[in-house]
A and B are shown apart, each in its own frame.
Chain A
Amino acid sequence: MTTLDARLRDVRTRRKALVPYFIGGLTADWTTYVSAAILAGADVIEVGVPFSDPMMDGPVIQAGALRALANDVTLESICHDVSVASFEVPVVVMTYYNVLHHFGLARSAELLAASGVAGVIVPDLAIEELTPWREVATAADVATVLMVAPSSPIDRVRRIGALTQGFVYAAARMAVTGRAADVGDAERVVTSIRTVCDTPTYVGIGITTPDQASDAAAFGDGVIVGSALVQQILDGASAQDIEGSISTFREALDRTAPEA
């Protein structure tokens, strides 16, 4: 079991997990947004390391990633920022496989671990191709969080449940990242995950409003909020604005009682 597994199981005993997503290097002071989010009640921070060809991301995160890349952001620069900031909640990096592949798998895992990153989400790394990465990442105590999609048949859910570390990313809908009007298929996806493993299960893809977060938390262990926040930052929101947004999500989740 990785350190992230232990920490997230601990979070589950206390409350629903709130996982905001920030693009590393989107602004020069991006870590101040993260600090504000933690102050307002974030339990895990997802940090996007931009890739030129983000297959799983919709227009908002694409735009943010392009802006960050124009600032010459790299895996190393983001790891450096994370390391300096030394956040008190776990950091999970979301990136695409080529970024790790190019830097070197073992070298990436060591860099992430040394920077205090607890886990990664690599959406284009299917379980069929997972082994080389998972071995070096596990050795470095970097958890690899896997995604279950509404299209995943139960035998794949079982394999994903057995391989994921830290949490299971339950994709609420058949879509790339973005904003949506409801929580889609989330309940069905979470229910199928529950039948195969006891790992904390967080709902993401399209979670846009505190009410949706509350809906998702009625059956999931937490929620991931990405595009809604990135859009705010792209529109010029301050760290204080983000703190306010996170607070409303926190309140909505806290209205949902943790499972006994």
Chain B
Amino acid sequence: MGPPDEGGHFGSFGGRFVPEALMPACLELDAAFRDAWGDPDFVAHYHRTLREFGGRPTPVTYLGRLSQRLGLSVYAKREDLAHTGSHKINNVVGQALLTARMGKTRIIAETGAGQHGVATATAAARLGLACTVYMGEVDTVRQALNVFRMELLGATVVPVTSGSRTLKDAVNEAMREWVTCVGDTHYCIGSVMGPHPFPWMVREFQSVIGVEAADQLHEFGVETPDFVVACVGGGSNAAGVFAGFADTTAQLIGVEAAGGSAVGRGMPGVLHGMRSLLLQDDHGQIEEAYSISAGLDYPGIGPEHAYLADLGRATYVAVGDDVVIEALQLLSELEGIIPALETAHAVAWLLRAAGDEVPTGSTVLLNLSGRGDKDVAQVRSILRGES
């Protein structure tokens, strides 16, 4: 997983498809990120912040009872233990430090499940940046507690009432807002999506997951896992963990929600500043994604994933809502880990694939991207048959 070309292309995907008003900011950000990421002081500051504030390194846990059940050796990279409860902190710490380095004083973000919004509000508070988060109105209801968390952290949450009122519309609204305030405001995109340099920059900030995990697996005596499995909405946790194994023989598996399967059902298109695989109708109108988990409710996928799928370097599969709750329950009961609903998609695929696509005896690294605290109320009502 090398850098994209100068224009931000991964093969035929990626690029920069934004209004002229935003192009200077994209170019400025590209230059600022290249400069910062090549500066040992910035990189050290980033890692130090993640260590002292973000809870890194997160451990790798051998999932003994699940392994026994499935006839596999399953290891989990515990991003659920990172500060704010998911891998999102890695990216926002990087972008918030970069915001300050660029001399900007305010940060805006979109959020679906609320994890990226909470993480952004957290990093903004830490660095003394003003913060506004755009969240689809539907998601503000599904994830009301996360709205309150962001407010506790001093952020302003703006419910987005346009379009389908979910993640994709929150991105549109954040982009529109960014046009009006680009001089002093950084748009902290939460996944490996958007115009260049975002997909590349976010992957770089998330690659700490895969780099750490590779070293930690060595301590378990695992040279290279046979499979690396992660859930994929936009694809930032997957990109981060894949980055540690792209040059190995490990099979990389991205698990999409069946109702948001951009690789499975999407076509090449242009949205949110990038060319990628997108769910769209016969006329190029973007379709709404449907998923039990707000974080996977995105009709596209990061352009590098579209490229990895094209190359055959990574494989993208999908699981339906029905098996996700079971997977969440099983991991909770067997391992004492309540995963986020997003993460439970990766678990669900592993349950299905064990002994089949994943042969008995295989070694698997599962990226446990987030914890399920935010989802327990929703899961409870589903299990009680209330929704």
Q: How far is the CA of A188 from the CA of B180 in the complex (A)?
A: 17
CB of A101 within 8 Å of the partner chain: yes
Give the segment of A136-144, A146-154, A240-248 that binds chain B: A146-154
Chain B window 111-129, contacts with chain A (Cβ cutoff 8 Å), 1 for yes, 0 for no: 0000000000000000000
Number of residues of chain B lying within 8 A (CB) of chain A:
38
CB of B3 within 8 Å of the partner chain: no
Cβ–Cβ contact A152 & B270, under 8 A: no
Q: How far is the CA of A149 from the CA of B19 in the complex (A)?
A: 9
Cβ–Cβ contact B269 & A102, under 8 A: yes
Residues of B within 8 A of A (CB): 7, 15-25, 162-163, 168-169, 172, 175-176, 179-183, 267-273, 275, 278, 280, 283-286
Chain B interface helix/strand/loop/mixed: mixed
Q: How far is the CA of A58 from the CA of B285 in the complex (A)?
A: 18
Cβ–Cβ contact A62 & B16, under 8 A: no
Number of residues of chain A lying within 8 A (CB) of chain B:
42
CB of A156 within 8 Å of the partner chain: yes
Give the segment of A9-17, A48-56, A224-232 that binds chain B: A48-56
Residues of A within 8 A of B (CB): 51-59, 62, 66, 69, 74-75, 96-99, 101-103, 123-129, 146-153, 156, 160, 171, 174-176
Chain A residues with Cβ below 8 Å from B169 are 53
Q: How far is the CA of A56 from the CA of B18 in the complex (A)?
A: 9
Cβ–Cβ contact A176 & B179, under 8 A: yes
Cβ–Cβ contact B179 & A52, under 8 A: no
Cβ–Cβ contact B17 & A53, under 8 A: no
Q: How far is the CA of A8 from the CA of B240 in the complex (A)?
A: 51
Cβ–Cβ contact B21 & A102, under 8 A: no
A152 to chain B: closest residue by CB: B20
From residue A15, how far is it (CB to closest CB) to chain B in Å?
27
Chain A residues with Cβ below 8 Å from B25 are 151
Cβ–Cβ contact B18 & A126, under 8 A: yes
Cβ–Cβ contact B18 & A156, under 8 A: no
Cβ–Cβ contact A74 & B283, under 8 A: yes
Q: How far is the CA of A55 from the CA of B272 in the complex (A)?
A: 8
Chain A residues with Cβ below 8 Å from B271 are 53, 98
From residue A92, how far is it (CB to closest CB) to chain B in Å?
17
